[in-house]
Structure 1
Amino acid sequence: MRITVDGFEDVHRVQQARYPVLEPRWQPVHTIYVPADLFSSSTPSSWGGQAFDLMKAHLPDAAAMAEVFELPAGLAADVHARVAAKLAAEPVEDLRVDFEDGYGVRPDAEDGDAVAAASALARLHAEGGLPRRWGLRVKSFADGDPGRSVRTLELFLTEVVTRAGALPPGFTLTFPKVLMEEYLGQFCEVLAALESRLALPSPVRFEIQVEAPQTVMFLRADLAESLGGRLAAAHFGVFDYTAALGLPPHEQRLDHPACDHARHVMQTAFAGTGVELSDGSLAASPASASTEDVHALWRRHAALVRHSLSHGFYQGWDMHPSHLVSRFATVYAFHLAHYDAHAARVRAWEERRAADGGVLDEPATIKTLVAALHRADSALSPASPKA
């Protein structure tokens, strides 16, 4: 008699839905966010121009790149060329127009700013300058006025669709300060209603910001599944999170152990689900226009980006044009430094031999190496693809 496993098919279907096997896909290395009242159709090019001018003035050659970012000469030359090309071709990969903390409470202005920002984004789309990902951060339901958040979103989407004829690709929403899990279901209902009203592609997806200990407590593997495929990403918010824990102001930093804990919970909760992860930001700009102060800012930001990368967070938030230089320099150096060695180990595995140094890789390690190569190829393109 054949022995069967009762209920296996049902459990396996749940597994496939919760942990889908997904093809590798592009993920931006950063998100910039700009207060709505300061946003215009020239914002991406302005950020790129300011970053390029800073690089020209304070990072003129490969020797300077090697000194500031502690890179070998050959790697520094490669990274320097790539960063310059990136700033000229695509300085912004992911953009959020901010109506939350960066914008503040402006009851008499928010309607107009929502329409104006949407109009500017539609103009960017028409001109071919819309970043590959773009969208807005609405106000939190935790603020006690979900109607304000919903009205801004509706005005914004209506204006974009009216001007562009449809919702351009790459759109996503940022939903901040999710202190109660129930807010997520309520937000999904709002999105469903807007899809119906504006004939939007379904489902409109959004990212949650993990900015409070309360949020960390309800992160789990079936959360994305329960939201009907709408949850695209989880982004860490360092300043609200560390403030909520009661850390002193000088310890509100991205590399604090408390932030590491939150990030690791995010990783554990969403591993295998397809939900992307992003780290937070550095709330600082150069203290002055002097080379010393610009270099100090780049070194601090680069250290935080390296910390994120080493913890498996391949995206972060940038708050100032200067951050673009240190973001791309650090990301490129991180991927290029290991690219050839990773590729050699994958080739050795495929040829059923030990890699250099006698390394005998396990299948799980090979899977990780292949994923790292894909991330590198994605991060290094399109301005300077890896040959």
Structure 2
Amino acid sequence: MTEDGTAATSLAESVSADIAARLAPVDAELARRYPGEPGTRQPVHTVYVPADAVTPGTVRAWGEQARDLLDEHAPDAASLAAVLGLREDLAAPVYERVRAKLEREPVEDLRIDFEDGYGIRSDAEEDAAAAAAARVVRAGHEEGGAPPYTGIRMKCMEAGVRERGIRTLDIFLTGLLETGGLPDGLVLTLPKVSHPEQVAAMARLCGEFEAARGLPAGRLGFEIQIETTQSVLGADGRATVALMIDAAGGRATSLHYGTFDYSAACGVSAAHQAMDHPVADHAKAVMQTAAAGTGVRLSDGSTNIVPSGTREQVHEAWRHHHALVRRSLARAYYQGWDMHPGHLPTRYAAVYAFYREGMERAAARLAAYTGNAGADAAVMDEPATARALSGYLMRGLDCGALSPGEVARHSGLTRADLGHFAGRPTEAEVN
């Protein structure tokens, strides 16, 4: 210590200032690349419907079909719990929430598909379908019942279908603008990406459309589907996902794993193409690492096993789908694809059980961390874990598995408190 009581040091102040100056560009680059959680709701699933099959009543019809299947094969909480192996204390609250969800908001994210689910049609036919898709989206927003998120999956940027995909996107977006503007929750999906330059081309396409129609720069974002081997590992041996996120220029909103295209590209036989195959786990681990901290979200793929046939067949398909969704959630893939109305009951059952079964424990750990527990903590958590615990509870609130009152009762924290610890920006900061 010095005579005046201050701590003694050896380095000149200029050393610290010089290091700060040298690292300022690095600080700026890290802030640009890793802005953190976007602070908005993430849908728990995406439903893909071919463009020629979607109507203004599609979402309502999916909900009705899912409820009919539930009524026929699991008419009460105990029967669904028995099929899925839910804990006895979770059976009633999960079942009640599933039923309410199927009535109120059966689909959270609808993607009108112009790619594999639609196929190659004449230009006139696809032009008409793209214009019709815009009308369907507009009708949903004007008449009510639209999912929180809706959009299209265009054809990819490969040479053979590139021009067709661009034209479909143009017709769809133009149709929306001419009937009232771009709706909130608009989502665009770019499939079969095999090179970062294709992502850059999509970003340019969005920018050109914004300029042509006088939209704010950055208004249009898009999802990138990871379903080619080149999207995970490039010809030069470099991991490609991070390069694609960067090529999007801030427009990438999420990465979606394509179960069947990617598995087939890896040579996996049809009988073994699945979300839990080792090649899927490798691809998704690379996606997860590349996206961490960037604000780009993750979505798992789908299963092609449909709940239909006898009760035993429906129950077996439900157990299979439920287990896959649970597996994804445990691996921090909080979104996935659903390809059939029969997948909705088990999607929501898995999601609601996942958050409800861990709520009290997560809330108690947060209460101890924040000093609201009133007793010594059984676990000494780090700030990073507090962030994860808060994020877990916020996702439970977002999807309707949890209520603000019960979370506050167990943790002593409001939603705003959770957002602070989770590192989410406030609504004012997002807007």
TM-score (ref. length: structure 2): 0.85
CA deviation map 1:307-366 (0-9, x unaligned)? 111111000000000011110000000110001110001001111879888322222222
- The one of 242, 247, 260 equivalent to 1:239 is 260
Q: How does 1:203-282 map to 2 (within 5 A)?
A: 203=218, 204-217=220-233, 218-221=239-242, 223-282=244-303
Classify the secondary structure of the residue corresponding to 1:345.
helix
Classify the secondary structure of the residue corresponding to 1:313.
coil
- The one of 55, 73, 82 equivalent to 1:67 is 82
CA deviation map 1:152-208 (0-9, x unaligned)? 111111112212x21111101000000121111111111112112233343200000
- The one of 168, 171, 182 equivalent to 1:155 is 171
Q: How does 1:301-312 map to 2 (within 5 A)?
A: 301-312=321-332
Shift of 1:385: 6.5
CA deviation map 1:220-259 (0-9, x unaligned)? 5464344221111100001000000001111101111110
Q: Is the 8 A contact 2:364 2:373 kept in 1?
A: no
CA RMSD of aligned residues (A): 1.9
Q: Is the 8 A contact 2:33 2:294 kept in 1?
A: yes
Give the gaps of 5 or more residues in structure 1.
Answer: none
Q: How does 1:14-53 map to 2 (within 5 A)?
A: 14-22=29-37, 24-53=39-68
The 1:220/1:253 distance shift into structure 2, 3 A limit, reads: closer
The 1:223/1:113 distance shift into structure 2, 3 A limit, reads: closer
- The one of 142, 145, 152 equivalent to 1:129 is 145
- The one of 347, 363, 369 equivalent to 1:327 is 347
Q: Is the 8 A contact 1:221 1:271 kept in 2?
A: no
Instruction: Measure, in 1, the Cα distance between the counterparts of 2:159 and 2:53.
Output: 22
The higher radius of gyration belongs to 2
Classify the secondary structure of the residue corresponding to 1:141.
coil
Q: Is the 8 A contact 2:47 2:339 kept in 1?
A: yes
Identity over the aligned pairs, expressed in percent?
46
Q: How does 1:164-179 map to 2 (within 5 A)?
A: 165-179=180-194
Q: Does 1:84 align with 2:99?
A: yes
Deviation larger for 36-45 or 215-224:
215-224
Instruction: Measure, in 1, the Cα distance between the counterparts of 2:268 and 2:376.
Output: 46
Instruction: Measure, in 2, the Cα distance between the counterparts of 1:285 and 1:93.
Output: 20
Structure scoring higher RCO (CA < 8 A, sep ≥ 6) equals 1
Instruction: Measure, in 2, the Cα distance between the counterparts of 1:139 and 1:221.
Output: 22
Q: Which residue of 2 aligns with 1:11?
A: 26
Number of equivalent positions = 384
Shift of 1:104: 0.4
CA deviation map 1:134-163 (0-9, x unaligned)? 100000112523110011111111112212
Instruction: Measure, in 1, the Cα distance between the counterparts of 2:133 and 2:317.
Output: 30
Q: Which residue of 1 aligns with 2:370?
A: 350
Classify the secondary structure of the residue corresponding to 1:142.
coil
The 1:224/1:98 distance shift into structure 2, 3 A limit, reads: same
Deviation larger for 352-361 or 313-322:
352-361
Q: Is the 8 A contact 1:177 1:209 kept in 2?
A: yes
Instruction: Measure, in 1, the Cα distance between the counterparts of 2:324 and 2:294.
Output: 26
Instruction: Measure, in 1, the Cα distance between the counterparts of 2:265 and 2:326.
Output: 25
Q: Is the 8 A contact 1:32 1:92 kept in 2?
A: yes
Shift of 1:21: 3.9
The 1:381/1:200 distance shift into structure 2, 3 A limit, reads: farther
Q: Is the 8 A contact 2:255 2:299 kept in 1?
A: yes
Q: Is the 8 A contact 1:236 1:279 kept in 2?
A: yes
Q: Is the 8 A contact 2:245 2:252 kept in 1?
A: yes
Q: Is the 8 A contact 1:210 1:237 kept in 2?
A: yes
Classify the secondary structure of the residue corresponding to 1:37.
coil
Q: Is the 8 A contact 1:167 1:200 kept in 2?
A: no
Instruction: Measure, in 2, the Cα distance between the counterparts of 1:305 and 1:54.
Output: 19
